[in-house]
Structure 1
């Protein structure tokens, strides 16, 4: 009996739209860096914030669509990998910051993108580190709030289920 290869359903247009919404805003920001350098900080933060929000929302929507088509084994895999991937990724960044070549790379990228020939390395690394720490703390706080919210929602009485 020959083995049949399962056919994949054709991607729906909304999936491609979400992928485009995930990819295009960050690409547009990077492409617009020369123009953004000439703009006021408030506008730069607004535009990059919008790009980041669109990317996050589109990736979340894509994850929800994907989750509808997977089985429990695949959901367990996603849960495990996302839980430990974030943790290991954050730990890896912290370890990499201890390596001088990585710090030098961060400073050189900041010099190129910032248009400053020789920025203060300590200031660049400190800013990068504080940004990294802010992201990790924000993830921690969101994890705590979502855990408490989920616990409260799931612990409510059956009569309160409305």
Structure 2
């Protein structure tokens, strides 16, 4: 879904007259599962924009923030939390982390934006795919910003991608 559509949903929630809290996670660390077959079968990851860094978030941190918001709703009413990992990481850096848990070397195969789009439309709706390359290839400063919100809500730093990779190593080995 495009950022415009998501922001429209957020606006509707804010204007609903109900108490609300918005959780806005950035790229999910678990999107790496889309490359698990490539890692296991060929020892490669084919991806565009190898050196563009984004702050991917561990889904366990998203769940932790959501649980905290549900446990103490009054403390979070009217807030929007941007959920990111602790640092920005490029595709190349994430592939290195996956290689560290896969047990075998993993090579990054750089794709052009058009090659990436052709692969993505095989399993994602076109409207979702159309916004993905721009975020991945030319992210805004906001999309690259590491947010303090996970730490603010949970009282601890967000989990790093390497920790997510270690917990999910069997999928890549």
TM-score in terms of structure 2 length:
0.27
Q: Which has the higher helix share?
A: 1
Larger Rg: 1
* Greater relative CO (CA pairs within 8 A, separation 6+): 2
